[in-house]
Amino acid sequence: MQTTISLAQVSTHAGQLDLNLHKTEKYIQQAKCEGASIVLFPEMWLTGFSIDSLKAHASLHRQALETLCHLAKNHHIAVCGSFPKVHEGGAISNSSLFINALGHVVSCYDKIHLFSPSWDESLMKAGDALVTLELPWGLCGFAICYDLRFPELFRSYALMGAKAMILTAAFPLAKLDPWITLIKARAIENQLYMICVNRVGYECYKAGPVLLGGNSMMVSPRGEILCLGSSDEEELLTHTIDLTLVNTVRNELQVFKDRKPHVYKLDEAMEHV
């Protein structure tokens, strides 16, 4: 089963929700013109990470989500990206929302691994569950940025039957080598597609401004980079993937069958970390 996906590698204008939404609509239109069935946006692309701003404009974020649903329905294309979700009591999570082509939110993954206390994200509400979504081209899992450094998460998705992972990120340019290496590793070791979109430009955290690294990419189950963005330019990357390749690769090298979970004893090993 083939599907065409667009990665919208964009920068974020801090505190300018309307401007970010206007840019989003442009990329949704372009992705539709290029034949994509899904367009993916990066981590917190509409708002940035300012907790004070997120809380002050919580109602606007709900309106923004309504706008995204309208755009998805109007252009008949699925839209996915990391978004601030407001919970009862006012807590905010960093959530990857998947809006289908009918304009309905059909999946929501709350980021499990929040970054260090020196970043605003440490004040957010962490997720505690993996989320999968059955799409016409196969089962898909979700992860956000820092999650990339936790191989257990991706292996768990693979064991659940996921054939592709959608990863939205605001990954620093200074960590470009880990970004590329870890994405390829997750694809190879789990024999699935890694579909990863990263922001460009600056994010202003409490600890100071950080230059984000772009290099959005799609990687095959064999670890081949199928498309790759620049380090600093806003752009749309569109590529068609074939999910039948996942079964082919998994039949060629049956790593899941050859696993020895009883030997690894991960829980016991953690006692020594």
Q: Which residues are catalytic?
A: 43, 111, 145
Using an 8 Å Cβ cutoff, are 155 and 259 in contact? Answer: no
Sort 126 into a burial class: Cβ within 10 Å, 0-12 / 13-18 / 19+.
middle
CA atoms of 164 and 249, how far apart (whole Å): 13
**Which residues neighbour 16 within 8 Å (Cβ) at sequence distance 6 or greater?**
none
CA atoms of 31 and 5, how far apart (whole Å): 8
CA atoms of 118 and 242, how far apart (whole Å): 41
Using an 8 Å Cβ cutoff, are 154 and 165 in contact? Answer: yes
Phi/psi of residue 150, nearest 5 degrees? -120, 95
